[in-house]
Structure 1
Amino acid sequence: MILWVVLTVLTAVAAAVLTIPLVRRQEARADARTATIAVLRDQLADVDVQLAAGTIPPADAEGLRVEIKRRMLAAGHIPDDAPRSLGSRALAGVAIGLAALVALAAGALYSSMGKPGMGDSVGTIAAAPAAAPAAPQASEVAGLITALEKRMESTPEDPNGWRMLGWTYFQSERFADAATAYGKAVALRPDGEGYQSAYGEALTLAANGNVTPAAQAAFEAAVKRDGNDARARYFLGQAKLQGGDSKGAIDDWIRLLGDSAADAPWIPQLRSSIDGAARAAGIDVTARLAAIKQPVSGGASVAAPPMAALAGAAASAAGPAVPGSAPGAPAPSAEQVAGAAAMSPADRQAMITGMVDRLAARLAANPKDEAGWLRLIRARGVMGDPAATAKARDDALKAFAGDAAATARIKAAAAEAGA
């Protein structure tokens, strides 16, 4: 709303700059005629006064009257600066037309080059720390939703299916539907990894960013299951802030910051929340923030979306990042995820193993792909194969021998994967 008020004011100023000179120019000419004639009338009256007082002879007085009247006649015909073919009414219409043209042109230019749909605020505190910079294409998500809805009609007792459906609803910003689907997943598997915090997040966003009692209960259950659940810890701090406990929220968030790896994707949002809450409450947190020593890896985490941890780590094609997955991990396509949802557990595992093996073969042929090695290490770790995880780590270190930064990242990923 503020943006449109500013644009309206700017448009009005531009229109005024164009129209006022057109109107004022005619007014100025009229004022000049009036002032000149008034002065000449005063002079004419002065001649009569001097004649009555006997200071000038009648002949001179008559000559002065003739000259002054001639000047008055001339003053009534002061010419324009340039010939004008339009009358005052027409000129006023032109001025209004120019103002309208400026407004229309500005609106068209902003519609084509600006961002009319952008809100007044760049970000909101309701954004979960697990939020990713990019999401799957809308067409892929729509196709995935249709496939999963049909799947869940025939298998309503599958908690992972409900979780997957909740995730796809969430990606299309259907938060109320996401909360319903996640709620069914939680009812079937209340201790599932990431189930409770995902459910609480969907409830929160369905309530326009307010942490409802049901959402808070879900976040508390998530933290009880896993004290390192970053998403649940973030929103529990948000609940305190909404309840007026700014200090409690800041304390919770600073602890979460200290438990999170320096490159965790939620760090920028978390720091922004801490700074905003501290400024609003008048609390100085500079020294506390400076004293934080974040772990290189591990610590607080967010559960990966259903099937994304494996399929995303194994896929070899580039694609948008999956929310909650490791940085750089490509997203599985709608067909891959929908197909995986319809498979038996054995077939699903075989598909995942095949994808991971193909990634390993590609890296053997092209070992200078650091992002690929990191995905392979994480995939082997998720699959619970320590020997394969260690081999991937060793092969990656061999490929990047001499590159201190790359070897540090490889070792950190391997340690996180359990190798």
Structure 2
Amino acid sequence: MSAAMLLLLFVCVLIAALMVALAVLWRRLKPSVAPLAQEKALYAGFVADVERRLAAGDLDAAAADEEKTAAARALLKAGEAATGGEVRPVYGYAMLGGVAVLSLALYGLFGHPQLRDQPFKTRLAGWTHTAKTNPDALSPQALALVLRQGREGHGDDPAFWAFLGRIDMLAGNNYQGAQDYEKARALDPGHFTHWSELGEALTFVANGNVGPDAQAAFETALAHDPKDSRAHFYLGMAAAARGDYAAARDHYQTALADMDAHDVSRPMVQQALDGLAPAEKAADAMKARIHAMVASLSVQLKDNPDNPDGWARLIRSYDVLGDAAAKAQAVADMQAHYRRQPAVAADILARSQAAVGAEDTGSSS
């Protein structure tokens, strides 16, 4: 953070403290209404008591007037005490106006958008010097900018792009990192060995989803090195996502077996492995529920085959279950029932391809 920004921050804090102080001062010195009102109530009660005693003959008129006069003097003194510390509104407005003017003046000096920032070239030069003397002191974002200056001199070196890809990934520049690895691969396709890093970058670009390109990169990485823990981990993620828990477990266990005991990634892989059992249990429970729904729907269609919606749900359900044989039989039965209505059969097949959740599988028609 530049010195100008630090100064601006300090001034903002100072102005805020001044505003709080003014508010407190105003609160303390504003007219105190409650005590004066209490004195007036006491005075009214005292006068009423004097009138009562005068009417009862316990007090003559001269004495009553004297007591009323004394009470009135006491009330006037109480009023003077209550209003003596009042801040006149004009002074309060003047103080607030002064704060506003001071704020605008300071903003004009330090905060307006047209102020020039520290030139990027100056900052980059400083980062470059630090990279040569103490690179560990630089953030990955700054180091990536420093390294990118070497594109002209090292643009044909695949090792340069591979290293830049690692730094970009550390800096959170996932898309840029994927491009770096792609450049390294394009420059030396026969000797490119950073397949798992490329796959990881592609996975990050896809928000954690192992897409076809990323999966192909990981599989190529294992073809080069069967002990590539990174590739095993992400292929395990892909297997778990598609419900192949046996394959996912195998990938995670292989990754852990080949990782160093102190590898910082071990807890993440272990957590993924531990999470397979409850996920698989939940998936099995869902499959059992779907099987029960499908069985019930199949029975309903045998009793009442004239049900286009039911046939569409049944065929779609077999797709969800991955039972190709049962799906083919259901399609054949449906087409046999609607052999005189080919348009209805075609519509059922079209609707069976709709992306509807499994929870609709067993709804009755």
TM-score grouping bracket, smaller chain normalisation:
0.3 to 0.5
Structure 1 length as normaliser, TM-score? 0.41
Q: Which has the higher helix share?
A: 2
**Bigger-Rg structure (1/2):** 2
TM-score, normalized by length of structure 2? 0.46
